[in-house]
Amino acid sequence: MQAAFFKLADIIPYNEAEDYMKKAVVKSYGKKGEKVVNMNFAAIDNAISGLVEIKYPESWATTTEGAAPVKPADNEYFKNIVFPILAQEGDSLPVSAFTPDGTVPTGTTQYEKRGVAVKIPQWIAENCIQCNQCSYVCPHATIRPFALDEKEAAEAPASTKLVQMKGKGCENYKFTVAVSPLDCMGCGLCVNVCPAKVKALKMVPQESQSEQQKAFDYAVANVTKKDIPFADTTVKGSQFNQPLLEFSGSCAGCAETSYARLITQLFGERMYISNATGCSSIWGGSAPSTPYTVNRDSGRGPAWANSLFEDNAEHGLGIYLGQKAIRDKLIGYIKQLNYEDADKKAAVEEFLATVDDGKKNGAAAKALIAVLEANADGELEKKILAEKDYLAKKSVWIFGGDGWAYDIGFGGLDHVIASGEDVNIMVFDTEVYSNTGGQASKASQMGQVAQFAAAGKAIGKKDLAQIAMSYGYVYVAQIAMGADMNQTIKTLVEAEAYPGPSIVIGYAPCEMHGVKGGMGNCQSEMKRAVEAGYWQMFRYNPSLKAEGKNPLIIDSKAPTGSYIDFIKSETRYSRLIQAFPERAEELFTKAEEQAKAKYDRLVKLGQIYE
């Protein structure tokens, strides 16, 4: 590249540039021997001899039209703000175009339709076992299962592929898996995780699937949620819930968004998110569009905010305490309601009985609001209705990466879990500062190559989970979606239900890791990591202690794979072998020993609690 640059840019005579470059080669590689030096010389020479001029059409030089982004007709925010920015006319927007408090509507990535994937999945209906794992792992919510009733099936576009839905109680429904060709990033995770005997998905050229956009858009806009016997706390059932995080700008195959998307399917309609700076604040809120969205039926979805890198946990705690103060006041009013009518009384009692139950309290609040609105002249009713959005129990989440949780935001994270308050923390653990180019964090592992650890990190990974467990009243877990999909969803549900602080640390392979075969193997890489004893899965649930049970449940089996073989398959480790083979040997061996000791220690900790 450097040779080509100097040849074309003509800053100094090329002969001189060549001379400088070749001297630099000798200086850098001289001690590696003549062969290496000659290979580098050849690279310089071949760059020049290989230069090919590509002529662009002459019309390009004089055109006045850019590529037009998709232009939706029916969204004012998109029309007035997003479209001008996407058209690179953001400078023309007056300050008055923006809201004074910095809030923006959610659900706007749906209008972007980037269409960046070369290949996207095609659903082969006849092979499908209807497990929904493709949707469960999809980082971008671009592949989704639907159950259609007779009418919906009849009205569906011709490109919609329908099969009989499997399972007792599903006899009246057709099943489809819809793919959004213009939103899919083409990572191929869905194909790779498909457990059907003969894969029910295959990657095909995007342009061959353009008719599928209609099928996807129809299903998303029209197909209702059905009363089917798959609990939405299961892998399969959860995927019939509308994802409230969609079409974000995260990398293809990103593990972080797979976790976050799932969380929105479980709790999104009553969710606040305080998001630390990092990848998750970029894919979570890249101006001008927002991937968090609202449920089509309820109109509710996550409220999302990003404060500073160093205060995200505290910011989330503040959100929690703020809404709690208002809600506690309203609960006080509700206790003063004195209805004689049995139905009204029942609505009040149901609300108060479920006040700490996030799952049930939403419906109870809805019913209570209906009662209050029918008595809207009452003083108490007026006061409660004025803040009715605070009535239903909320689910407060604090999102961030390892750079935040282990390092820069750790002081605050510790303070927040120590507080005992009912907040949920989700750590996307990529073991590196992914968003800023890959600096080592305290979550980086021994021997891992990263910025500030060019010779491989010499000390082990900080044990954030063990630190959190030291409080005894914090729900603490480590998960790895690709290693155990059931454990992941079970953990998230338990963490959210626990009436105190919860922290879930999710292993998140990342573009930065150099996973063999690319990020389409992200989920299987998690499985390999657990089998090799590189990552442990477990749940520490203080509620079990109160029931006289062992609070620590270890969900990982003892390692069966080779730790060193595993890490050698990722370039973040293998590059150390190239650069410093002896040090690599030493650090990798030590890292393997420590990983074994860590698992043993976990097992013994489990015995302590018994």
- Could you tell me where the DSSP H helices lie in 268-311? 279-283
Per CB under 8 A, 414 contacts a second copy: yes
Among the listed residues 360, 418, 544, 590, the single contact to a second copy using CB under 8 A: 418
- Which two three-digit tokens encode residue 230? 């798959």
- Of 543 and 594, CB closest to a second copy: 594
Per CB under 8 A, 467 contacts a second copy: yes
The residue type of 30 is G
Per CB under 8 A, 322 contacts a second copy: no
Per CB under 8 A, 459 contacts a second copy: yes
Among the listed residues 415, 516, 549, 557, the single contact to a second copy using CB under 8 A: 415
C-alpha dihedral, 538 to 541 to 545 to 548, nearest 10° = -70
Question: Comparing C-alpha atoms, which of 266, 265, 267, 285 is closest to residue 275?
Answer: 285
Residue spans of beta strands (DSSP E) within 234-353: 271-275, 303-306
The count of other CB atoms within 10 Å of the CB of residue 119 is 16
Per CB under 8 A, 544 contacts a second copy: no
- Could you tell me where the DSSP H helices lie in 106-169? 133-137, 150-155
CB of 397 to a second copy, least distance (A): 21
Per CB under 8 A, 604 contacts a second copy: yes
- Answer positive or negative: Cα dihedral of 565, 134, 184, 161: positive
- Coil, strand or helix: which one is 2? helix
Candidates 106-114, 228-236, 460-468, 521-529; binding stretch for a second copy (CB under 8 A): 460-468
Per CB under 8 A, 462 contacts a second copy: yes
- Of 224 and 607, CB closest to a second copy: 607
Question: Comparing C-alpha atoms, which of 223, 446, 414, 167 is closest to residue 310?
Answer: 414
Distance between CA atoms of 316 and 319, rounded to whole angstroms?
5
HEC string of 20-36 equals HHHHHHHHHHHHHCHHH
Per CB under 8 A, 195 contacts a second copy: no
Among the listed residues 291, 301, 412, 520, the single contact to a second copy using CB under 8 A: 412
CB of 423 to a second copy, least distance (A): 15
Per CB under 8 A, 442 contacts a second copy: yes
CB of 408 to a second copy, least distance (A): 8
- Which two three-digit tokens encode residue 604? 């013994």
Candidates 79-87, 360-368, 412-420, 533-541; binding stretch for a second copy (CB under 8 A): 412-420
CB of 598 to a second copy, least distance (A): 9
Per CB under 8 A, 605 contacts a second copy: yes
# residues near a second copy by CB under 8 A: 28
Per CB under 8 A, 431 contacts a second copy: no
Residue spans of beta strands (DSSP E) within 56-110: none
Question: Comparing C-alpha atoms, which of 405, 357, 605 is closest to residue 504?
Answer: 405
CB of 364 to a second copy, least distance (A): 28
Among the listed residues 205, 411, 518, 581, the single contact to a second copy using CB under 8 A: 411
Per CB under 8 A, 169 contacts a second copy: no
Among the listed residues 362, 401, 460, 533, the single contact to a second copy using CB under 8 A: 460
Distance between CA atoms of 134 and 122, rounded to whole angstroms?
12
- Which two three-digit tokens encode residue 200? 């029910």
* Burial class of 31 by CB neighbour count within 10 A (0 to 12, 13 to 18, 19+): exposed
CB of 418 to a second copy, least distance (A): 5
Contact footprint for a second copy (CB under 8 A)? 407-412, 414-415, 418-420, 442, 458-460, 462-463, 466-467, 470-473, 594, 601, 604-605, 608
